[in-house]
Structure 1
Amino acid sequence: MSTEDVIALAEQGIFTILLVAGPLLIIALGIGLIVSILQATTQIQEQTLAFIPKILGVLIGIVVLAPWMINHMVKFATDIFSNLTTFVG
């Protein structure tokens, strides 16, 4: 296995991670931004107030996006395992 193959495999793995985790991170970022704007306008400076909406938003995001995320992860794992002989030998 050459260095180009290793780099291509690592690139594909990082892309899959970003593709799967990205939507959940964007959801958490959006909810955090909305909560912080609400905190700034109402002058409520409670640090723990942002955690519950983020947790609920990410949980709902997981429920909605789970089939799509699992599809991408299974496709990546299938590609890895189907080409296992080229990686080892």
Structure 2
Amino acid sequence: MTPEVAVDLFRQALWLTGIMVAVVVMPSLLIGLVVAMFQAATQINEQTLSFLPRLLVTFLTLIWLGPWLTTQLIEFTDTLYRSIPGLIG
């Protein structure tokens, strides 16, 4: 295995990891921003108010996009396993 191939595999794995994390975290960040704007507008300074909506949105995102995320991970792993003979020899 050449260093270029190793770097390419690492790049693909890092890209997939970034996509998977972004898909789960971005909706939570947007809901957190909306709740923070609501708290600023109403001057409610309750720290626990933003926790439940973010938790629910993250949970719903995992339920809705979980199959797609799992499919992407399985495809990457399958591609990696199938390329092992070519990487070794």
Q: Given the two structures, how large is their TM-score scaled by the length of structure 2?
A: 0.91
* Greater length-normalized contact order (CA 8 Å, ≥ 6 residues apart): 1
The count of residues paired between Structure 1 and Structure 2 equals 89
Q: Say what the alpha-carbon RMSD is for the aligned residues.
A: 1.2
* Paired residue secondary structure (1:68): helix
Distance in structure 1 (CA, Å) of the matches to 2:47 and 2:4: 46
Paired position in structure 2 for 1:26: 26
Taking a change above 3 Å as real, the CA distance of residues 77 and 43 of structure 1, as seen in their structure-2 partners, is same
Paired position in structure 2 for 1:8: 8
Identity %: 29
The Cα shift of 1:24 comes to 1.3
Structure 2 gap segments, 5+ residues each: none
Paired position in structure 2 for 1:36: 36
Paired position in structure 1 for 2:68: 68
Paired position in structure 2 for 1:77: 77
Structure 1 gap segments, 5+ residues each: none
Distance in structure 1 (CA, Å) of the matches to 2:51 and 2:73: 27
Q: What per-residue deviation string (whole Å, max 9, x for no partner) do you get for residues 11-65 of structure 1? A: 0001111222212111011000001001101111112221111110010001110
Moved more, 44-53 or 54-63: 44-53
Paired position in structure 2 for 1:56: 56
